[in-house]
């Protein structure tokens, strides 16, 4: 099969995976793994899957929540978030900044003054995080009981 230059490898993988998935479910109109028109979550480059990877880190959601009420300095976040080291906080903030969820504001001066704040994109995560927090509060004991019985 000759593929035109305009057809990317990603498009080929999506087409082939969709064809395989359609054959498995018997429904050619809805490929296996497709989520609300977002894409196929089984593909490595699915935007939904990549977005979840950004916040799936142990500390990412906690740091985002720590910034939800406004800008904070690094030391304030260390004091606020129990159990996080300065190094891990720095790594987490950099990763969130790279992904467009956190902004770093360097005001210079002596001593240096740096604050971190949520970007508009980061603010869009607060409602899903609130929902997850509510779920955890409602179901935390059941999860602990399941862990103990396993």
Residues 6+ apart with CB under 8 A from 119: 100, 101, 102, 103
For the segment 27-49, what is each residue's pLDDT rounded down to a tens digit?
A: 555 455 555 555 676 777 777 78
Overall average pLDDT of the 8-28 stretch: 49
For residue 87, is pLDDT > 50?
yes
pTM score above 0.85: no
Domain boundaries, the chain: 9-51, 58-149
* 94-150 pLDDT, tens digit each: 999 999 999 999 998 888 899 999 999 999 999 999 999 999 999 999 999 999 998
Q: Does 3.40.50.720 match the CATH number of domain 58-149?
A: no
Distances (CA, A) of 140 to 9, 85, 109: 43, 25, 45
Burial of residue 27, with CB atoms counted within 10 A of its CB: 0-12 exposed, 13-18 middle, 19 or more buried:
exposed
């Amino acid at each position: 099969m000759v593929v035109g230059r305009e057809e990317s490898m990603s498009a080929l993988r999506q087409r082939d995976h969709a064809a395989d998935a359609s054959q498995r479910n018997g429904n050619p109109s809805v490929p296996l793994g497709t989520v609300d028109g977002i894409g196929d979550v089984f593909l490595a480059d699915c935007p939904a899957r990549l977005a979840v990877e950004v916040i799936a880190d142990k500390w990412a959601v906690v740091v985002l929540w720590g910034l939800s009420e406004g800008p904070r300095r690094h030391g304030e976040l260390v004091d606020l978030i129990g159990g996080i080291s300065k190094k891990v906080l720095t790594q987490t903030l950099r990763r969130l900044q790279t992904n467009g969820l956190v902004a770093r504001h360097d005001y210079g001066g002596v001593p240096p003054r740096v604050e971190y704040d949520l970007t508009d994109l980061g603010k869009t995560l607060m409602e899903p995080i609130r929902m997850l927090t509510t779920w955890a509060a409602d179901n935390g004991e059941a999860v602990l009981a399941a862990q103990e019985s396993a």
